[in-house]
Amino acid sequence: MNYEAPAWLCGGHAQTIWPALFARSTFGPAPRYRRERWDAPDGDFVDVDFLQGGEAGPPRPLLVLFHGLEGSSRSHYALGFADVARERGWDFAVPHFRGCSGEINRAPRAYHSGDHEEIAWLLVRLVQRQRAPDGTRAPLWAVGVSLGGNALLRWAGEWGAAAAASVDAVAAICAPLDLAAGGQAIGRGFNRQVYTRMFLRTMVPKALAKLAQYPGLFDRAALLAARDLHGFDDVFTAPLHGFRDADDYWRRASAKPLLPQVRVPALALNARNDPFVPAASLPRPGQVGRHVTLWQPDHGGHVGFAQGAWPGHVRGLPDTVAQWLVAQSAHG
Of 55-59, 138-142, 163-167, 284-288, the least confident: 55-59
- The residue ranges of DSSP E strands in the chain, in sequence order, are 33-39, 45-51, 62-66, 91-95, 140-145, 169-173, 266-269, 292-295
Does residue 332 carry a pLDDT above 60?
no
Q: What is the pLDDT of residues 152-187, one digit of tens each?
A: 999 999 999 999 999 999 999 999 999 999 999 999
pLDDT-derived band at 331 (thresholds 50, 70, 90) equals low
Give the CATH number of domain 12-178+256-331: 3.40.50.1820
Q: What is the pLDDT of residues 19-49, one digit of tens each?
A: 999 999 999 999 999 999 999 999 999 999 9
Does residue 145 carry a pLDDT above 80?
yes
Q: Alpha carbon of 12 to those of 4, 146, 247, 277: distances in Å?
A: 12, 15, 26, 11
Domain ranges of the chain: 12-178+256-331, 185-253
Q: How far apart are CA 260 and CA 228, in angstroms?
A: 31
**Residues acting as catalytic residues:** 146, 274, 302
pLDDT-derived band at 132 (thresholds 50, 70, 90) equals confident
- The percent of residues above 90 in pLDDT, for the chain, comes to 92
Sequence-distant (≥ 6) Cβ neighbours of residue 21 within 8 angstroms: none
pTM of the model as a whole: 0.97
Q: What is the pLDDT of residues 245-275, one digit of tens each?
A: 999 999 999 999 999 999 999 999 999 999 9
Does residue 54 carry a pLDDT above 80?
no
pLDDT-derived band at 194 (thresholds 50, 70, 90) equals very high
pLDDT at site 58: 76
